[in-house]
Structure 1
Amino acid sequence: MATYSHLLIGLDLSPESQQVVDRVKQLFADRDVKISICHILEPLAFTYGGDIPVDLSDVQVQLEDQARTRLAALAEQLAIPEEDQHIVLGQPANEMRRMAKEEDVDLIIVGSHGRHGLALIFGSTSNSVLHGAPCDVLAVRIAEDD
């Protein structure tokens, strides 16, 4: 079996992201692998309140800054250098698949909440990443608090 040489971790930056980071540490701590980490922000477009456009670009910048800070804290736990920490605007599954192709990634790692039924159909980023991914995908099951 081939070993992985470049991992891409896709995080939503929720508190549960720590579980994904912990699993990566468990599985790859003693391996010589390159690890990239990303968070995909869906862009805030201009919204219109009646006839007056509202510019949300300042809010977008604030969201990016907050995401960068949170991502850096998680990346530090895995010793991921700043150049391998990515905040990207776009649709999460599409952007992760694009990054995997462009960066020659051979394993994408994402968290999965174990949704089923309609919740799976309408909102599973991990499922969307899997379909059409250019490489293997590891979905880390997120333990839900009871």
Structure 2
Amino acid sequence: MPYQHILVAIDLTEDCHPVILRAQDLAICNQAKLSLVHIVEPMAMAFGGDVPMDLSMLQQQQFDQARERLDSFAGPYPQLTAEQRHLTYGQPRQEIHRLAEEQGCDLIVVGSHGRHGLALLLGSTANDVLHGAPCDVLAVRLKKPQ
């Protein structure tokens, strides 16, 4: 059964281009719809949840900057229209799973650095997305910088 809707989760780094290209190739081969998502994590999560100040203005600036970056990032991929670019706020695994279900995606594509040892024990977004995903997950191996 060919894939019909592929969701690509990206972190807006240059490493993501090979992930998008792999997903784009799959979408072409399967004549599938392709969507892109970036998740902005709450700043409070970076501080362990307890922050003695209001971060809402900073969070909104971060969200606005992510929107601009997502739109420019998708520029080389004309098939990724504004309706196919999603920016959400929250915990990456939960938001990717929610969006995949909401959009009827049957494949999630993420990049993976293939970490080992301590980094593997601590987990990664790719590993988090795999567990409990509502559909198939493809982890595209990212090359380490030379």
Q: Does the pair score TM above 0.5? A: yes
Query: Secondary structure of 2:138's partner?
Result: strand
In the alignment, is the contact (CA less than 8 A) between 1:112 and 1:139 conserved in 2?
yes
SS in 2 for 1:47: coil
Gaps of 5+ in 1: 49-53
Residues 24 and 34 of structure 2 are in contact (CA less than 8 Å); yes or no, is this contact kept in structure 1? no
Contact kept? 1:21, 1:74, Cα under 8 Å: no
Displacement, 1:31?
Answer: 4.4
Instruction: Specify the code of the residue in structure 2 equivalent to 1:107.
Output: L
If each structure's strand is expressed as a fraction of its own residues, which one has the higher value?
1
1:133 aligned to 2:133? Answer: yes
C-alpha separation in 1, matches of 2:123 and 2:70: 22
Residue 99 of structure 1 aligns to a residue whose secondary structure is helix
Structure 2 equivalent of residue 16 of structure 1: 15
- Cα RMSD of the aligned pairs, angstroms, is 1.7
Contact 2:6–2:27 at 8 Å: present in 1 too? no
CA distance in structure 1 between the partners assigned to 2:97 and 2:17 by the alignment? 22
How many angstroms does 1:71 deviate by? 1.3
Q: Offset at 1:129?
A: 0.6
Give the structure 1 partner of residue 47 of structure 2: none
Q: Distance in 1 between matches of 2:116 and 2:40?
A: 24
Task: Quote the Cα distance in structure 1 between the aligned partners of 2:38 and 2:51.
Answer: 23
Cα deviation, residue 126, structure 1: 0.5
Percent identity between matched residues is 48
Q: Distance in 2 between matches of 1:5 and 1:11?
A: 20
Please give the residue correspondences for 1:53-68 in structure 2 after superposition, counting only pairs within 5 Å: 54-68=53-67
How far is 1:30 from its partner? 5.1
Shift of 1:102: 1.5
Matched pairs, number: 140
TM-score calculated relative to the size of structure 1:
0.87
Residue 119 (structure 1) aligns with: 119
> Scaled by the length of structure 2, what TM-score is found?
0.87
Look at both structures and tell me which one has the larger radius of gyration over its CA atoms.
1
**How many angstroms apart in 2 are the aligned matches of 1:75 and 1:143?**
21
Q: Which runs of 5+ in 2 are unaligned?
A: 45-49
Q: Are residue 98 (structure 1) and residue 98 (structure 2) matched?
A: yes
1:32-69 Cα distance to aligned partner (Å, 9 max, x none): 21111111111123721xxxxx2221211111111112
What is the CA–CA distance in structure 2 between the aligned matches of 1:87 and 1:59, rounded to whole Å? 17
